[in-house]
Every structure is written in structure tokens, then in C-alpha cells.
A = this chain, B = another copy of it.
Amino acid sequence: MCNSVVQSNTSDAMRTNLVSAPVYVVLLHHPIRNRNGLEVTTAVTNMDIHDIARTARTYGVKRYFIVTPIQDQHELVGRILAHWRTDRAKVEHPDRVEALSGVELAGTFSEVKERIHSETGEWPEVVLTDARQMPNQVSYTEFRRDWQEAVAKGRTRPLVIVYGTGWGVAESFFSEVHRILDPIYGPGKEAGYNHLSVRAAAAVILDRLFGL
């Protein structure tokens, strides 16, 4: 019964999406701006791994790439991911194991693009999310409509949605980007506040683009 209710809510375009044009998400830890606008590498946090993995799985994302050039962080994240492949974890937290099975580490964004290219045969479209207002940002309504139309017409080109950490993605990354999504606003914006955590922003953005 669950299934039939959901299927009746699901447009053909959204259903096609899952098979034809895969969606990937990237959490970028370099190049990032710090609070003074300098380019830095941020640390991977355990909560970012878990929360965004669960969100990505909920919204049908094919894989969630955590990008950091720091080798120590690869070892740390590798150990965390290894824990979530143990038999005990599979019994005690199957949902968590399922979500974390979609998480992959990469040293650079180029590596992410190459992996996507080698598995799909196409270079992905790269969409950046950012809390700042910038010229030529695309609205969620427009992006969602474009996406559904393209998928209905048989789009196969993969999409990569990039989330920044720290104070946002550094400008040196912008040459990688095809489109930038609008900042997320709620009524608090009138009081000058839009400081969602990246975990909350990742969820809101995927919901606006792909929520049923």
C-alpha cells in the first residue's frame, strides 16, 4: 500500500530520473574560503558523512563523494566507512549501512569527474550551491522544471551537485561550475539571517529539486 501511494505521487519524469540521468552529490573540503576569505582545506566531520549520506539516499542520489586532499582524513573516513560495512552494523542499523554504502572518498574534484565519466561515459553538469547572492543564479523552480523536461526527453548526462563547507567554495573552483543555484531563504532572511548548516542546506536543496 505504501508503494502504490508513492507511485501515484511520482511523475514519470521523476521515475525516469532514477534510471537515465544519474545525480551525484559532492561535499567539498578544498578549495574552501575561511571566515577571512582565504583559501583553506576544512576538516571532514562525522556528522556530515552520516546526515548527507541519509539525505542523498532519500532523494535517489547515486553516490555521495566526500572530497578532501588530506590523506589523514582519508584514513579517518575510511575507518568510519569500514565500520558501517561490518556484519554487526548490518544487523543493528541496516538503514545506516544502506545510506553509507553510497559514500565514496576522492582527493580532488577532477577525480570525481573522472570516476563519473568512466562509469557513465559522459562528463557531468556541475551545479554549485551557495548561501551568497551572486549574478546569474538559477531558481529552484526553474532548475526543477528544466530537469524534469530534460529527463522526460531522455537526458542521460549526469548531474553533480556541489556543497561547500567552511565559509563556502573558493572562487578558484568557479571555473568548474556550469550553474549556481539561488541561496535558500526563509522568513528569517528579513532579519538578515540565512545560516543553515551544510547538512540542513543539503536536505532542503535536494528536496526542492527532487522531493515528491
Contact = CB atoms under 8 A, between A and B. Distances in A.
Interface string A162-200: 000000000000000000000011111111011111011
Given A58-B196, A59-B186, A133 B98 contact: no
A197 B17 contact: no
Contacts of A3: 190
A194 B55 CA distance: 8
Contact of A55 (B7, B200, B206): B200
B200 A186 contact: no
Contacts of A206: 186
A17 B47 contact: no
B204 A211 contact: yes
B195 A50 contact: no
Interface in A23-46: none
A14 interface: yes
Nearest to A189: B6
Contacts of A17: 187
- Residue from A2, A186, A206 having most chain B Cβ neighbours under 10 A: A186
Contacts of A15: 187, 190
A137 to B, nearest CB: 11
Most B CB contacts (10 A, CB to CB) among A9, A18, A189, A200 go to: A200
Chain A, interface size category, equals: 35 or more
A55 B196 contact: yes
A109 to B, nearest CB: 24
A204 B206 CA distance: 9
Given A186-B207, A187-B14, A187-B17, A197 B196 contact: no
Given A133-B2, A185-B211, A207-B208, A190 B58 contact: no
10 contacts: A51-B197, A54-B195, A58-B185, A58-B200, A95-B195, A96-B195, A98-B193, A196-B203, A199-B199, A203-B204
